[in-house]
Amino acid sequence: MLLPTDQLQYIITHARNTYPEECCGFLIGTNSSPRIVGRALAASNAAQPSRLRRYSIDPPELIRADETARRSHLTLLGVYHSHPDAPVAPSKVDLEFAWPEFTYLVLSLQNGEPRDIAAWSLDGSRGGFDLDELKII
């Protein structure tokens, strides 16, 4: 996946502004090889009771993001979310709710500052994630 610096900055700003809660949003772009993020789009974290260690995106917000992508002749490539004071590796909950074909960009924050970022996709068996190549451009 190719992630432009300005879109990385957008995600980092979103994560800092929501810290210590998890932030979440969409990755919109070109479904090529490699995938190219053209736009990151913030979403509301609807996780209850605690957004400190979970994120959830309401279905109507997902539908709007997909429509936004299609109107621009782009694709909803996946989602991003933060892991406040936690490693960049996806959690068991991330695995439980992951969709095939989506890329999951995870930003680890320590004390509100970015520490690491990685892109993940479901493996073929849906039993785990594969680490995708991520290049900041």
Place of tokens 């290049």: 135
b or e along 25-48 (b: 16 or more beta carbons within 10 Å of the residue's beta carbon)? bbbbbeeeeebbbbbbbbbebebe
pLDDT confidence of 105, banded at 50, 70, 90?
A: very high
pLDDT at 16: 97
Per CATH, the number for 2-136 is: 3.40.140.10
pLDDT digits (tens, 9 = 90+) for 3-22: 999 999 999 999 999 999 99
pLDDT at 106: 97
If you ran DSSP here, which 8-state letter would residue 72 be given?
T
pLDDT digits (tens, 9 = 90+) for 52-102: 888 989 999 999 999 999 999 999 999 999 999 999 999 888 888 888 899
Nearest C-alpha neighbor of 28 from the set 49, 1, 47: 1
- Predicted TM-score (pTM) of the model is 0.93
Q: Is the pLDDT of residue 131 over 80?
A: yes
